[in-house]
């Protein structure tokens, strides 16, 4: 991968512009599209260590984006599977935001509010749906460094297991739902916390990649609320204010995802294709790209 990293800065194709500790940041400015007027679409493929584009019948692709984007390791296009994954990723975020907001409203709404009792009776269900939506998004999220993606998924899984264990072993015997038990027993944050740590990682990634203000603020609010509740250093008024801010920003964050182009959530597809190659084919392709660069400089 050292050679691959060097190729990023030396190939003729436009590379991602920012290298962070966790991943290469996809940038719409670095993926300069080139449109074409052919009646066919290009489909990116890998054969014998080479990334190629081939023509596909227009009728089989419907109205899919025809733009060919230049990636760090070759050209790529948006195909129907990419669109489905991105829509599901964003839908998972909307599901998580909606469910968590409804559940959190039980702590914010006045006691005489008509639906408050119904919400309180179904807090476990809302928590389950929200966790499921978050899990779907973490399964489909595009992160160049696979280890970071697996870490977020592992945190989510640990949080789900911890939540289930807390409910079965502690909340249910006490005659409470999971959410209310965590509210009444701050130490239970240790068990459910990893799930929200995975959410924090997701919004951090979004804020870092796309400069979303609401995602950046959420990166600080989520752990602040949980740590404030766990340590008991935060009074209820402050916690409720931060919780309301968390929910409002979460809704804005999830909703605004649908205003982005599909390609934004894909990133540089050629990097994922390169990472999926066997090591010998990675080496061969990197050497070929470096040779092309040297030839173009002479």
Query: Do 162 and 221 reside in the same domain of the chain?
Result: yes
Which residues make Cβ contacts (< 8 Å) with residue 254, sequence separation at least 6? 90, 93, 94, 96, 97, 98
**134-191 residue pLDDT tens:** 999 999 999 988 999 999 999 999 999 999 999 999 999 999 999 999 999 999 999 9
Query: Do 293 and 245 reside in the same domain of the chain?
Result: no
| Domain housing 225 | 82-259
Query: Do 275 and 229 reside in the same domain of the chain?
Result: no
Query: Do 190 and 70 reside in the same domain of the chain?
Result: no
Longest dimension (CA), the chain: 78
Number of domains in the chain: 2
Query: Do 98 and 131 reside in the same domain of the chain?
Result: yes
Q: Estimate to the nearest angstrom the gap between the alpha carbon of 257 and the chain centroid.
A: 11
Query: Do 202 and 97 reside in the same domain of the chain?
Result: yes
Query: Do 248 and 195 reside in the same domain of the chain?
Result: yes
Query: Do 71 and 19 reside in the same domain of the chain?
Result: yes
Query: Do 59 and 205 reside in the same domain of the chain?
Result: no
265 found inside a domain: no
Q: Is the pLDDT of residue 132 over 90?
A: yes
274 found inside a domain: yes
Using a pLDDT cut of 90, give the percent of the chain over it.
Answer: 57
* pTM across the whole model: 0.75
**202-252 residue pLDDT tens:** 999 999 989 999 999 999 999 999 999 999 999 999 999 999 999 999 999
Backbone φ and ψ of 213, nearest 5°: -60, -45
Query: Do 138 and 221 reside in the same domain of the chain?
Result: yes
264 found inside a domain: no
């Amino acid at each position: 991968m050292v050679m691959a990293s060097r190729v990023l800065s030396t190939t003729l194709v436009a590379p991602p512009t920012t290298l962070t500790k966790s991943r290469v940041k996809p940038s719409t400015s670095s993926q300069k599209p080139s449109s074409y007027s052919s009646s066919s679409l290009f489909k990116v493929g890998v054969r014998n260590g080479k990334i190629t584009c081939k023509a596909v019948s227009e009728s089989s692709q419907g109205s899919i984006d025809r733009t060919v984007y230049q990636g760090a390791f070759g050209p790529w296009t948006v195909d129907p599977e990419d669109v489905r994954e991105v829509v599901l990723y964003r839908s998972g975020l909307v599901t998580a935001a909606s469910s968590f907001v409804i559940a959190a409203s039980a702590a914010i709404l006045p006691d005489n509010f008509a639906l408050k009792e119904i919400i309180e009776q179904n807090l476990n269900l809302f928590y389950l749906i929200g966790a499921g939506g978050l899990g779907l998004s973490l399964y489909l999220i595009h992160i160049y460094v696979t280890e970071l993606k697996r870490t977020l998924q592992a945190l989510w899984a640990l949080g789900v297991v911890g939540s289930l264990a807390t409910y079965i072993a502690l909340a249910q015997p006490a005659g409470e739902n999971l959410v209310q038990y965590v509210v009444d027993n701050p130490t239970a944050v240790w068990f459910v916390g990893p799930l929200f740590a995975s959410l924090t990682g997701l919004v951090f990634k979004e804020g870092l990649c796309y400069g979303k203000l609401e995602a950046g603020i959420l990166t600080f609010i989520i752990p602040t609320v949980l740590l404030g509740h766990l340590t008991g250093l935060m009074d209820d008024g402050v916690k409720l204010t931060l919780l309301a801010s968390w929910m409002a920003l979460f809704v804005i964050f999830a909703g605004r995802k649908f205003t982005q182009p599909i390609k934004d959530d894909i990133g540089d597809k050629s990097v994922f294709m390169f990472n999926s190659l066997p090591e010998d084919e990675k080496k061969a392709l990197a050497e070929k790209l470096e040779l092309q660069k040297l030839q173009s400089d002479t």
